[in-house]
Structure 1
Amino acid sequence: MLPLGLIYPLLLAHGGALSAFEATLAAQDSATAALGQWCGARHLADPATITAAQVKGLDTMPPPDLDETLKLAEDQEPAYRHVRLSCGGKVLSEAHNWYARQRLTPAMNQTLDTTDTPFGKVAAPLGFTRERLGAVRGAAPGCPRDTVLSHRALLRLPDGSPLALVVECYTPAVLRK
């Protein structure tokens, strides 16, 4: 992890790269797809495959508005997944994902429960869209200190139903070649 004093010079030195990365994220409904595109364009790995390693024991408290945001019934609990998304052995982001299990297929839930497949790849057949709720250059609450960009987004199904609330913490590795 980079010391906090090194993050700001890194942002200044790579401001163009960070802006280009933000544009790549904005052009995709799936952060997983955007990371794959970015990884390929930056030649971080060949092939540019994104993997998700589940992080156990470092859960983040859910936002207080989670049930309302996901429009969950009183008897429904949100599922939670904390992963580190990597390409070519480089961790590009750490993501917290709270999602409505009942809006996924049983096979999708099984895959999320038992594999390291990224959420965006698993849920892609549902045709979700991404609504960015906020972005911060640097670390938002719940992100590691060396985060260079933080996003909070809501994934919605084609009928408008919320599918997932994500907090994404992008690492300095997205700025390197």
Structure 2
Amino acid sequence: MVEVIARGRLRGARAAEALSARLLLTQRATRALEDWCGERGFASGRITVRRHDPPAPAILDAGSLAALGGDAHGLTLRRVDIRLGGITLVDAVNWYFADRLTAAMGELLTGDTPFGEAIADLAPQRRTFHVAVAPAEVIEAAVRDPADAAAIDRPPVHVFEHRAALALPDGTPIAVVHERYRAVLVG
């Protein structure tokens, strides 16, 4: 198992487990990603997103719908790549109730601001309800040969996925996010 490199940092499957655990403990995934990337020294700066407009339709699964209170009426879809220093870290889809956000927040979401940062003033509570981790051998192969894992003619290797519900402090649902974290984060 690829575990440690010269600078003493975790790589591969163990790094994926560590990052997933860190994200489970935070209310703002964007900040945790910035810290993780800074600690690993491969990119610095501000996390931004690249929007996919118009977003391809995405099916809302039963667990995600339940996390939103069971009613999909009024949801807006936003599909983005979460990036740092020009590197795509995460492929994300979020469904949110635009009418539960301020106009200023809605405006931020038309640009390169991550969802969690745009709605930070609402003090949302993040509850992860689904975690799926790729098999260790898939993660290890991506770390051993990052050029092969990042080949243009292949889909990106995702090392884990989180699905989380965001709610107002009173429990009113705001959004559901599906985040698929790429192998570049654990190499």
Q: Which amino acid aligns with 2:22?
A: T
TM-score when normalising by structure 1: 0.80
Unmatched tracts of structure 1, length 5 or more:
1-8
Max radius of gyration: which structure?
2
Unmatched tracts of structure 2, length 5 or more:
4-10, 136-154
Verify: 1:39 aligned to 2:37, yes or no. yes
Residue 60 of structure 1: CA displacement? 4.3
Verify: 1:163 aligned to 2:159, yes or no. no
Cα RMSD over matched residues?
Answer: 2.4
Verify: 1:116 aligned to 2:112, yes or no. yes
Question: Which residue does 1:151 correspond to in 2?
Answer: 162
Verify: 1:91 aligned to 2:84, yes or no. no
Residues 152 and 117 of structure 1: CA distance in aligned 2, closer, same or farther (over 3 Å): same
CA contact (8 A) 1:24 1:38 kept: no
Greater CA deviation, 30-39 or 151-160? Answer: 30-39
Residues 18 and 100 of structure 1: CA distance in aligned 2, closer, same or farther (over 3 Å): same
CA contact (8 A) 1:151 1:169 kept: yes
Greater CA deviation, 38-47 or 103-112? Answer: 38-47
**Percent of matched pairs sharing the same residue:** 34
Residues 10 and 88 of structure 1: CA distance in aligned 2, closer, same or farther (over 3 Å): farther
Please state whether the residue corresponding to 2:119 is helix, strand or coil: helix
CA contact (8 A) 2:55 2:77 kept: no
Q: What is the total number of aligned residue pairs between the two structures?
A: 160
Q: Deviations over 1:27-62 (max 9, x none)?
A: 211221221111111112233x11100023552423
Q: Which amino acid aligns with 2:162?
A: H
Please state whether the residue corresponding to 1:97 is helix, strand or coil: strand
